Copies of this chain bind each other. A is one copy, B any other.
Amino acid sequence: MERIRLAEDLTFSRVIHGLWRLAEWNYSKEEILQLIEFCIEQGITTFDHADIYGGYTCEALFGEALALKPELRDQIEIVTKCGIKLVAKNRPEHRLKHYDTSRQHIIESVHQSLKNFQTEYIDVLLIHRPDPFMNPEEVAEAFTQLKREGKVRYFGVSNFKRSQFNMLQSYLDFPLVTNQIEVSAYNLENIEDGTLDLCQEKRIPPMAWSPLAGGKIFTADDEKAIRLRNTLEKVKEELNATNIDEVLYAWLLVHPARIMPIVGSGKKERILSAIRALELSMDRQQWFDILHSSMGHEVP
């Protein structure tokens, strides 16, 4: 599988696996290990996590599976996030959902993640959401310390708009390596508001969350979903694809910004859809046909 270069000695697999809902799948350690090995066989070596996924449980589930076969650690890239504090039984001190990007919290969160993953290092740590209460000097201190200690190799952000990205970057001595954003044929916000432009300007390949729009495209019956579904079906036929998942993934994969879609499924068949999408040669007119269906009008 194609690999995307994020830094001198860091590449991601073009398709990324996301463990957002790992806890819901009720997989045994062995089954999770199987899933990891299946991904690796397919060329998917990058795994996306966050401290909070599954109510602070997914990292450890993954780590326990990985511990069954520790030699896999160096074959994969672990991405995780911090900065959100959820109300959760195992976090009684959280009175309400809020963000915390203090030096102390970033460092403590990474320590916990390392323990959960039973690993010595995180490949890439992301700030999960732009924090309106951010002290960028503290973020920089935490990042610098974690890098120096070898606990985190590289840093990025998630859901950051241009002003937020530029602000945080200005406090760092090293470049942020990615911005994980919501982008799909259904959700064009980050295309329309210039966030994707900034990624291209900064030569930062974005990770795409909800590349299938959380399934809305398949089930919703709003006008936009219906329009889009019709066009996706048409393009699916034209491309001889198996299903419209592939077309949705291809719409991201053919974009020049080197978008890396995150596949959040535990089912092999759905993971394979994303991989098959890599082979689809969607042309420019098909790309715009899908865009027009999403916007509800053609480009001006």
Contacts and interface: CB of A to CB of B under 8 A. Distances in A.
A288 interface: yes
Given A161-B194, A166-B197, A198-B163, A255 B133 contact: yes
What is the copy number of this chain in the assembly?
3
Give the size category of A's interface with B.
35 or more
A300 B170 CA distance: 25
A256 B100 CA distance: 13
A100 B299 CA distance: 12
Interface string A131-155: 0111111100000000000000000
Interface in A28-45: none
A100 B197 contact: no
Interface of A: 94-100, 102, 129, 132-138, 159, 161-164, 166-167, 170, 191, 193-194, 197-198, 200-201, 255-256, 284-285, 287-289, 291-292, 298-300
Contacts of A300: 129, 159
A288 B98 contact: yes
Contact of A97 (B135, B197, B298): B298
A252 to B, nearest CB: 11
A256 B135 contact: yes
